[in-house]
Amino acid sequence: MTKHVVAAAADVPPGERLKVDVAGTPVAIFNLDGEFFGLMDRCPHMGGSLCEGRLIGLVESEGPGRYKYSRGGEIVRCPWHGWEFDIRTGKSRFDPSRWKTRAYAFDVAKGEELVEQAYEAETVDVSVEDEYIVVDI
């Protein structure tokens, strides 16, 4: 397993997202309240870029006419056909067990710790003062 540095933490403020490459795979990074989550940036339906999609909350229901809303901004809709994906898990809303996109677990590492370790950083310059989004692959 190698630690990949994919972006500087400051590049993805809360509520924002960034499209990066992780070992050759396009990945969308989302910042939910300071936590970083990644989804393979290809919708399992027809390959649309999830990073280009709108964020909504989770809309559930206990029956017709009854709406239960939670987790604002944590669901991304593919811009092509509107499929909803849970940013935290990569699972679709309509059929979580069968339809999902790969989810990446990101950590934040301090630059000063990183420089002591081995890592890959294809496009990111690591400096000891800053924080970085990293993933082990």
Partner 1 sequence: MPAVAPGAIDCDLHPAVPNVKALLPYFDDHWRDMIVQRGVHELDSISYPNNAPMTARPDWKPETGKAGVDLDRLRAEALDGFQTSLAICNCLYGVQLLYTEDMAYAYARAVNDWMAAEWLDKEPRLRASIVIPPQNPEYAAAEIDRLAGDKRFVQVLMLVMDEMPLGRRRYWPIYKAAERHGLPIGIHAGSAYRHPTTPVGWPSYHAEDSAAQAQAFQTTLSSLMTEGVFAEFPELKVVLLESGFAWLPSHMWRLGKFWRGLRMEIPWVDRHPMEIAKEHVRLTINPRDVPPSAEAVERLMNHFESDEMLLFSTDYPHWQFDGDDALPDGISPALAQKICQDNPLATYPRLKETVS
Partner 2 sequence: MNVKTETRTPTSADPSVKLAIADCDIHPSPKSVEKEIYPYLEERWRKHNDIYGLILRQPYQSGPAYPKGQPDAARRDAYVPGGGRPGSDVKYMGTHHLDEHNVQLGVLNPLRSGQGLQNVDFAAAYCRAVNDWQISHWTSQDARLKGSVCLPYEDAALSVEEIERRAGDPNFVQAFMLIRTSEPMGQRRYWPIYDALAAANMPLAVHAFGFGGTPSTSSGWPSYYIEDMVAHAQSAQSMVMSLVMEGVFERAPGLKVVVVEAGFAWLPPLAWRLDRIWEKNRAELPHVKRPPSEYIRDHIWLTTQPFEEPDRRSHLKDTMEWIGWDKLLFATDYPHWDFDDPARLPLPKVDKATRENFFLGNALDLYGLR
Give the one residue of 5, 17, 104, 135 binding partner 2; rule: CB under 8 A: 17
Q: Which two tokens stand for residue 122?
A: 């294809």
Element (H, E) at 113: helix 111-114
Evaluate the CA torsion angle 58, 59, 63, 66 in order and state its sign.
positive
What gap in Å lies between CA 54 and CA 9, rounded to an integer?
21
Q: Name which of partner 1, partner 2, none residue 46 binds, using a CB cut-off of 5 to 8 Å depending on partner kind.
A: partner 2
Question: Contact 79/68 with Cβ under 8 angstroms?
Answer: no
Closest Cα partner for 18 from 29, 27, 32, 26? 29
Nearer to partner 2, 46 or 115 (CB): 46
Closest Cα partner for 27 from 103, 97, 115? 103
56 binds partner 1 (CB under 8 A): yes
Residues 55-74, one symbol each (x = binds partner 2 by CB under 8 A, - = not), give: --------------------
Q: Name which of partner 2, partner 1, none residue 40 binds, using a CB cut-off of 5 to 8 Å depending on partner kind.
A: none
What gap in Å lies between CA 106 and CA 38, rounded to an integer?
7
Give the one residue of 30, 48, 109, 135 binding partner 2; rule: CB under 8 A: 48
Nearer to partner 1, 83 or 106 (CB): 83
**Binding interface with partner 1 (CB under 8 A):** 45, 56, 59-68, 77-78, 81-84, 92-95
**Binding interface with partner 2 (CB under 8 A):** 7, 11-13, 16-21, 26, 41-42, 46-49, 51-54, 77, 79-82, 123
